[in-house]
Amino acid sequence: MNTSPTKKLALYILSGFAVVLTSFFIAVQMPGDALDNLLLRQEKVSVSSSDYEIKKIEMAHRMGIDKPLFYFRLSSLAETGYEIYFATENKKDNYSNLLRKYGNSKEVYLFARKCQYADEVLDALNKKYNLSAIDKFSGNLQFIQKNSAATNMDSVWTMIEKDHSLTDFRSLTLILKQSWEKLSQQPHSYRAYTPAIAFSADNRFNDWFFGGPLSQGLIHFDLGTSFFTGEKITSLLKNKIAWSLGFSLTAIFIAFIIGIPLAAWIVYKKNKNLDKFIRLFAATGYAMPVYLVGVILLFLFSNPDLLNIFPSSGVKPIGLNDNVSIAGKLWASIPYLILPLICYTFSLLAFVVSTTGDLLRGQMLLPYIVTARAKGLDDKTIVYHHALKNVLPPLISLLANIFPAIIGGSVIIETLFSIPGMGNEIVRACLSRNFPLLSAIILISGFATIVMYALVDIAVYRLDPRIKSSAA
């Protein structure tokens, strides 16, 4: 049963939305702490710095990282309405545990704010005085902020109140203690177990898609900024997309232009030895990993001890004059492109030849072929003008499955031959943990695949009259 164009369009829209969400969550839910990375690499702030945590919170607010991830999220009733976001994970975990333990979200929120107020007071005192008592009280405060959910707080307050060196902080201690007593003595535990949906229009996805502190948004074709180079990802990938798409589409074109006529000729000739050879070639093409093909090609044709015919890496001669015409640059680059193209095309050509041959052999057993032979048509006319025409729609459909495989193979090929494409960039992004860049590449690859599927569907719809009649 064929899917109607309307249903396919809806499927493409849902697929595009899924690609966007996947790319977004890869960009924001990266392993490790992005703020630590930025503070250490870009702003050169030491972890041991006294104002490290404050700078971290300020940066989180400036970049919008302290916002909710999406427009809505499933949480407990205790957490809804008083969401607290901290740059430091252990503090965030502590306050989340308090919410789950007591369920009194308002008092947990107020307690957290008073702890932050105490932090600000100590920071102001540190700028005027350098007292050991300030450091001691600050240590106690940090302990409270990180461990109050799992600690007997009565003993903590007693210890602070009995410490004569902390006499100057009695009023601050009293504020915190009173807030804690309200929190712990008025629990609403049921709220911690009551599910609720929290909505927020001010969120990270909205900033990422429509524009925010970090970028102008995906809707304006702004894919964000690389955390390591500070360069806009859109400009970084502009030339790399051209190289990857150029190689991929050229390989597909070569495989189909050579593979389809070759398979038709083999079926027409009915040469068993030739057929066995092609089947062996196809099996070899399937079995050999793409990296092995690349290594063999380099060993045979870029080896000073064997045949040093082609360059082993790169896409153009080093120091090529920019004043050279486009035709001149292309001609000078041809030797650099031959081995990568063979590597791209080898397995794909074997697949196209094998699949086309199997489809044509299946067509030759159908009744309309018997009728054509009964009318006196020769095998050449039957294969090229009748059977081949009927296998073109399923062959074109193969493009939809081939394109993602080509993109996956480009990671190995581009790395092996030092091609400045997206595949090479994926490897660099993974090694350097540059997740915004990796997210952008996945987004572009996903949409390129969806567009390819759509183009294939349109082509098959045009070529196969049976699909037109069923859709109508």
Residue 66 domain flag? no
What's residue 175's pLDDT?
Answer: 93
Query: Which of 199, 215, 250 is the C-terminal boundary of a domain?
Result: 199
Residue 38 domain flag? no
Q: Are residues 284 and 418 in the same domain?
A: yes
What's residue 176's pLDDT?
Answer: 93
Average pLDDT across each block of 10 residues of the chain; the chain has 472 residues. List them in order.
Answer: 73 90 82 64 62 70 75 76 57 82 85 88 76 87 90 91 88 92 83 78 85 82 78 84 86 89 86 79 79 87 84 74 69 84 87 87 86 83 85 82 76 87 85 82 88 85 66 52
Q: Are residues 277 and 401 in the same domain?
A: yes
Residue 396 domain flag? yes
- What angle, rounded to 10 degrees, do the helices at 422-431 and 435-463 form? 150
Residue 263 domain flag? yes
Q: Are residues 450 and 387 in the same domain?
A: yes
Q: Are residues 171 and 261 in the same domain?
A: no
Residue 44 domain flag? no
Q: Are residues 304 and 381 in the same domain?
A: yes
Gap between the Cα atoms of 246 and 327, Å rounded? 16
Query: Which of 199, 224, 250 is the C-terminal boundary of a domain?
Result: 199
Query: Which of 142, 174, 199 is the C-terminal boundary of a domain?
Result: 199
What's residue 463's pLDDT?
Answer: 75
Residue 245 domain flag? yes
Q: Are residues 443 and 307 in the same domain?
A: yes
Angstrom CA distances, 241 to 329, 424, 441, stand at: 19, 11, 9
Gap between the Cα atoms of 65 and 120, Å rounded? 21
Q: Are residues 176 and 249 in the same domain?
A: no
Question: Residue 449 is part of a domain; what is its CATH number?
Answer: 1.10.3720.10
Q: Are residues 243 and 195 in the same domain?
A: no
Residue 100 domain flag? yes
Q: Are residues 166 and 267 in the same domain?
A: no
What radius of gyration, in Å, describes the C-alpha atoms of the chain? 32
Spell out the long-range contacts of 80-83 with Cβ–Cβ below 8 A and sequence spacing 24 or more. 80/105, 80/196, 80/197, 80/198, 81/105, 81/198, 82/106, 82/108, 82/109, 83/198, 83/200
Gap between the Cα atoms of 23 and 55, Å rounded? 28
What's residue 144's pLDDT?
Answer: 92
Gap between the Cα atoms of 366 and 364, Å rounded? 6
Number of domains present in the structure of the chain? 2
Q: Are residues 134 and 271 in the same domain?
A: no
Residue 330 domain flag? yes
Q: Which residue range forms the structural domain that includes residue 398?
A: 233-471
pLDDT digits (tens, 9 = 90+) for 417-471: 888 888 888 888 887 777 888 888 889 888 888 888 888 888 887 777 666 555 5
What's residue 50's pLDDT?
Answer: 61
Q: Are residues 159 and 242 in the same domain?
A: no
What's residue 174's pLDDT?
Answer: 92
What's residue 88's pLDDT?
Answer: 59
Q: How many CB atoms lie within 10 A of CB 175?
A: 15
Q: How many CB atoms lie within 10 A of CB 72?
A: 12
Q: Are residues 417 and 285 in the same domain?
A: yes
